[in-house]
């Protein structure tokens, strides 16, 4: 029986500002969800940012949707089996990040009750995953080169550069020339239009693994056209809102590799289906990131251990983001992160660390 949920807001300063084409994050305002059943507890992290700039969701809105619509929709649901959330949540349109946070908290509780690790439950085959790092837009190329040099020295196996018009070919060229044959990719977060195709083709000589989401979220056909005009493989992030959207984008030739984010598709059950639909079509996937704390990271690292994840993810170590994580920190070991082995997501927040960063808590009965 599900008793209720605690919604907890925490303020987590980032160790360095993270600038993208849509804004700059200085600290994370994170919503954590703790599910309480009569036999277990579980945690989920909402990946919505403070403002609706990556997608339409934002953290205060997600908290409101969870309180007013998602938790009430669970009345009468007999246990924490996360599959039971899918039908009631499907009636509520949109809000995948809010849904994912609640479903993951239940999934964690349910797996803990059964003594099952999330990685095993999802069908993971690896006990460690290669780590990439996403590097924000900087004020200057020397500053970018210093940041990339630091990450490579720490052992990161793949570098992703955030790009936007005015910060694309030059930084890519500089990183390629300075660091040679590293695994390198870029992410535009929808900052271009199809009219920029010829400009984006200037990235072709740099042998990038992929260019992530160059065009708007709803311009799937534009991505298919762009794919015909550039050699760099196109990877969709924002556009892939479900397994069905993934199947459509693949059928149109709009994506040749896919970034999976459970928050963007409504949870780990749907994320697993995105993985499966891509695998069935011979499309590789990798796990993205939303600057998560150790709670969200633990579950992402489990997902990244699935066999269809063919590239290093944006699953970086805790110290890339925070001075002190709320869980035991994820640390880089030879460029890899260990997949948690305990039941559920395999980590729990440290009560002291949590208390220090908590700005509000609220208990909601089902
Ligand atoms: O978690 O290391 C991370 C961030 C990875 O670049 C990253 N995420 O579009 O893929 C993306 C962005 C979205 C979040 S930007 C605040
Ligand atoms: Mg992205």
Q: What is the pLDDT of residue 322?
A: 98
Cβ–ligand 1 distance for 189 under 6 Å, the answer yes
Nearest ligand 1 atom to the CA of 289 is 1
Q: Give the pTM.
A: 0.98
- Predicted pLDDT at 270: 98
Which residues of the chain carry a pLDDT beneath 70?
none
Q: State the pLDDT at residue 330.
A: 98
Nearest one of 325, 351, 286 to 131, comparing CA atoms: 286
* Residues ≥6 apart with Cβ < 8 Å to 181: none
Taking the CA of residue 18 as reference, the ligand 1 atom at the shortest distance is 16
pLDDT digits (tens, 9 = 90+) for 191-207: 999 999 999 999 999 99
Residues recognised as catalytic? 162, 261
Percentage of residues in the chain having pLDDT higher than 90:
99
Query: Ligand 1, residues 138, 209, 314, 320: which to mutate, most atoms within 8 A of Cβ?
Result: 314
pLDDT of residue 4: 97
286 lines ligand 1 (CB under 6 A): no
- How many angstroms separate the alpha carbon of residue 291 from the centre of ligand 1? 6
291 lines ligand 1 (CB under 6 A): yes
CA distances (Å), origin 104, targets 34, 35, 41, 152, 281: 9, 9, 11, 32, 27
pLDDT tens column, 60-87 = 999 999 999 999 999 999 899 999 999 9
Q: Provide the residues around ligand 2 (an ion) whose CB is within 5 A.
A: 187, 212, 237
Atom of ligand 1 nearest to the CA of 49: 16
CATH numbers and ranges of domains, the chain: 2-115+351-365 (3.30.390.10), 119-338 (3.20.20.120)
């Amino acid at each position: 029986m599900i008793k209720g949920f605690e919604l907890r807001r925490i303020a987590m300063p980032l160790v360095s500002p993270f600038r993208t084409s849509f804004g700059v994050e200085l600290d994370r305002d994170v919503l954590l969800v703790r599910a309480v059943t009569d036999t277990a507890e579980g945690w989920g992290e909402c990946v919505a940012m403070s403002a609706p700039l990556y997608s339409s969701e934002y953290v205060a809105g997600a908290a409101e949707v969870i309180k007013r619509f998602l938790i009430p929709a669970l009345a009468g649901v007999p246990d924490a089996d996360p599959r039971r959330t899918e039908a009631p949540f499907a009636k509520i349109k949109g809000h995948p990040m809010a849904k994912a946070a609640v479903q993951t908290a239940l999934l964690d509780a349910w797996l803990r009750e059964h003594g099952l690790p999330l990685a095993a439950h999802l069908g993971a085959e690896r006990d460690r995953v290669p780590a990439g790092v996403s590097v924000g837009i900087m004020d200057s190329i020397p500053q970018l080169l210093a940041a990339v040099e630091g990450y490579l020295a720490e052992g990161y196996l793949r570098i992703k550069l955030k790009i936007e018009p005015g910060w694309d070919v030059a930084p890519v060229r500089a990183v390629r020339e300075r660091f040679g044959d590293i695994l390198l990719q870029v992410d535009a977060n929808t900052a271009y239009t199809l009219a920029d195709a010829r400009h984006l083709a200037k990235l072709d000589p740099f042998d990038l693994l992929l260019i992530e989401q160059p065009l708007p979220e709803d311009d799937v056909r534009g991505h298919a056209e762009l794919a015909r005009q550039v050699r760099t493989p196109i990877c969709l992030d924002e556009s892939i809102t479900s397994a069905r959207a993934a199947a459509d984008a693949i059928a149109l030739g709009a994506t040749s590799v896919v970034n999976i984010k459970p928050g963007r598709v409504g949870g780990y059950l749907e994320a697993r289906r995105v993985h499966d639909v891509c695998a069935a079509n011979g499309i590789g996937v990798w796990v993205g990131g939303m600057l998560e704390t150790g709670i969200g990271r633990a579950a992402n690292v489990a997902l990244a251990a699935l066999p269809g994840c063919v590239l290093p993810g944006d699953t970086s170590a805790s110290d890339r983001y925070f001075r002190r994580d709320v869980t035991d920190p994820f640390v880089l070991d030879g460029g890899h992160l260990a997949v948690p082995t305990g039941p559920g997501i395999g980590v729990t927040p440290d009560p002291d660390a949590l208390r220090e960063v908590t700005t509000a808590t609220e208990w909601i009965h089902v």
